Structure 1
Amino acid sequence: MKYGFIGAGAMGYRYGVMMQENAGIDVDFIDTWEPNVEKVREQGGVKVARDHKNQHIVPINIYYPEEYTGHPDVWIIFKKQMQLADELERDKAAGIFHPDQYAFSAMNGMGHFEKIEKYFDPDKIICGTAMIATRMDGPADVDFMGAENGEVMHMAPYNNKPADEVTKQVFADFKQAKLGPVMAKEWKGMCMSKVVYNAVVNTLCTMFELQMGQFIEYPKVPEMATQLFNESFDACERAGIEMIETRQEQIDSVTTTSHQFKYHYPSMYQDFSKGRPTEVDYINGYIAKIGREHDYVCRTHEFIVNEVHMVELMRKYKHNN
């Protein structure tokens, strides 16, 4: 099958390059960030490294939406939550979406599938999550974090029906690309399991500007994680959302992944450090929203959302010093 990527950022490049290099799959990238597109064209591809080593140029096909004439079988969508609605509308106006196409996304946070459903048949949407750390150091310059063959991701049909033949082929292609796919039974609990993890690691690392290895040095991290996970699970249980991991498994994963990706700054920090808005409203804020909708107040998550927004606001003073 042929794949098109909407968003040539850290994760879009990670998936696309691995599918192209490891599985020989035909891949096109669509992007609207002009410095990124022009840098790819200038240097003949995207600059790729793994854990800061073996940096090399990978030739890729990249287009602005308005100049694209291809017809992928599956679109893979990796955009920031705040940018997604405008991006999809621009892509639709460019005429690159077609009724027979499937869409897959493993974006951080929640709320994106409702936006994607406006442009794609719900029976042709595949939900995903990715425990895959990638850093984007500049236009057309990415660093794949973690050892080779250590990638893990989950996927599930949006309609919660058994996987159809296209979804099975997407799974097979991800497997051949060495992305470590695991098929889940139900998408919402799968996605929320990643959200509640990000609500601990991404958010706290961002607030204190820490790499994951630095973060886990603090001995009270498991205690802090427990408090946040308990609120998350309590809210989700009231909403009838069943996680794919237990509370203890989530707590343990904070320690495991923080050691595994010890030199990694989470994606939320990468946005924050570049002066961009963070996705905290789609992560901790989404958990708090679920809680409020079911008569449960996630006090710690609500406090953290306000703290992150305060830190974002205070950047203007830091830059003036």
Structure 2
Amino acid sequence: MKVAIAGAGAMGCRFGYMLADSGVDVTLIDGWKTHVDAINQQGLFVETERGSRHYSLPAMLAEDAHGEFDVVILFTKAMQMAEMLQKIAPVLASAKVVMTLSNGLGNIETLEQYVDRSVIYAGVTLWSCELEGPGHIRATGSGNIELQPLMSTDMTTAGRLVEMLNHAGLNAELSANVLLSIWKKAAFNSVMNTYCALLDCNVGGFGRRPDALEMARTVVREIVQVARSQQIPLTEEMVMHTVQKVFDPRESGEHYPSMHQDLHKGRLTEIDYLNGAVARMGEAQGIPVPVNRLLTQLIHAKEAQ
């Protein structure tokens, strides 16, 4: 399969080099010219626990995107997805699979405005990565992927997609209910991203706080109520199991979540697609969501500083 990764930030680059290293023809697409130029001129510089290496990968600016690809994987941040989809329209036209692995709620609804539902795959991933600078990522820890076609019954294509991802070591599997997984990941990120950003710490640092689990539960309880109002069978236990697991340094304890990275680099965050989305939906349904509303306001205040 020929693959384009739209949104070649930290996660897009991690998937890109892992796929390329397994023999897949990968092209990176991004909107940051300095980053794209660095990758084209020097290769993508990847640091891992085992050492560092440059990977030769073609990269192009979103507005210059062209070519035919079997698979387009979207890692664009939720608030930038519509703009990215508009710019890469020539690339989307030939894709047999358009998969979103972006964080947050509402990405599927955005994607449906630009491509036919029959080619959409929704997914979630627990892989993590950090963008250290133009053309430079630090990839630590391991992860997995859950994915599901929204409408397609073409299991041959689905099987080939999973096989390709697993050959690259990305630990992919087909999900029976990806919407539940998306809500579970959004709840997880509404805890880890938001608290680590506000407390200026990594995942393990938050986990070492004696009140970390109770702080997490106050967020998750509200999200569970909102999810159930949307017919999503989310439970507190589902989310808290993952929260506790990643506190371990062998998992993702040393990782600084993307919201923390965004604030430190002066970028807007995805808060409106995490705690903010939950707050909006909860208030529309008459469900009390004071914790998620307050956390959203605090992140916006940090953005404004």
Q: Same fold (TM over 0.5)?
A: yes
Q: Is the contact between residue 48 and residue 141 of structure 1 (CA under 8 Å) also seen in structure 2?
A: yes
Gaps in structure 2 of 5+ consecutive residues: none
- Tell me, yes or no, if the aligned pair for 2:128 and 2:139 is still in contact at 8 Å: yes
- Where 1:200 maps in the other structure, the secondary structure is helix
Q: Match for residue 10 of structure 2?
A: 10
* Structure 2 match to 1:174: 165
Task: Trace 1:79-94 onto structure 2 (pairs within 5 A).
Answer: 79-92=76-89
Alignment of 1:5-154 (within 5 A): 5-21=5-21, 23-43=22-42, 45-51=43-49, 53-92=50-89, 95-98=90-93, 100-146=95-141, 150-154=142-146
Equivalent residue number for residue 254 of structure 1 = 243
Per-residue deviation, residues 274-315 of structure 1 (Å, max 9, x unmatched): 00011001000111222223221211101110111112222x
Count, aligned residues: 303
How far has the Cα of 1:164 moved from its partner?
2.9
In 2, are the aligned partners of 1:35 and 1:139 still within 8 Å (CA)?
A: yes
- Seen in structure 2, the aligned counterparts of structure 1 residues 40 and 99 have a Cα distance that, compared at 3 Å, is closer
Q: CA RMSD in A?
A: 1.6
Counterparts of 2:68 and 2:254, CA distance in 1: 39
Aligned to 1:241: 232
Residue of structure 2 equivalent to 1:271 = 262
Task: Report the 3-state secondary structure (helix = DSSP H, G, I; strand = E; otherwise coil) of the residue aligned with 1:104.
Answer: strand
Which amino acid letter does the alignment assign opposite residue 232 of structure 1? I
TM-score by length of 2: 0.94
Task: Name whichever of 103-112 and 287-296 sits farther off.
Answer: 287-296
Shift of the 68–82 alpha-carbon distance from structure 1 to 2, 3 Å rule, reads closer
CA distance in 2, matches of 1:169, 1:238: 35
2:146/2:178 contact within 8 Å kept: no
Q: Distance in 2 between matches of 1:130 and 1:273?
A: 23
Identity of aligned residues (%): 27
Change (3 A) 1:88 1:68: closer
- 2: CA distance, partners of 1:292 / 1:99: 40
Corresponding position of 1:301: 292
Q: In the alignment, which of 214, 217, 220 is matched to residue 223 of structure 1?
A: 214
Q: 1:66/1:212 Cα in 2 relative to 1: closer, same or farther (>3 Å)?
A: closer
1:318 paired residue number: none
Would you say the 8 A contact 1:239–1:290 is kept in 2?
A: no
Please tell me whether the aligned partners of residues 128 and 187 of structure 1 are also in contact (alpha carbons under 8 angstroms). yes
| Shift, 1:172, TM fit | 1.2
Matched position secondary structure for 1:96: helix
CA distance in 2, matches of 1:211, 1:9: 19
Q: For residues 72 and 136 of structure 1, what CA distance do their matches in structure 2 show? A: 25
Any idea what SS the aligned residue of 1:126 has? Answer: strand
SS at match of 2:54: strand
Give the structure 2 partner of residue 206 of structure 1: 197
Asked if structure 2 preserves the Cα contact closer than 8 Å seen for 1:46 and 1:141, the reply is: yes
Aligned to 1:313: 304
Task: Give 2:177's aligned residue.
Answer: 186
TM-score by length of 1: 0.90
Which amino acid in 2 is paired with 1:308?
Answer: I
Q: Secondary structure at the match of 2:91?
A: coil
Q: Distance in 2 between matches of 1:275 and 1:41?
A: 25
Q: CA shift at 1:107, angstroms? A: 0.5
Task: Report if aligned partners of 1:285, 1:302 keep a CA contact under 8 Å in 2.
Answer: yes
Q: Is the contact between residue 226 and residue 282 of structure 2 (CA under 8 Å) also seen in structure 1?
A: yes
Q: Residues of 2 paired with 1:309 and 1:186: CA distance?
A: 32
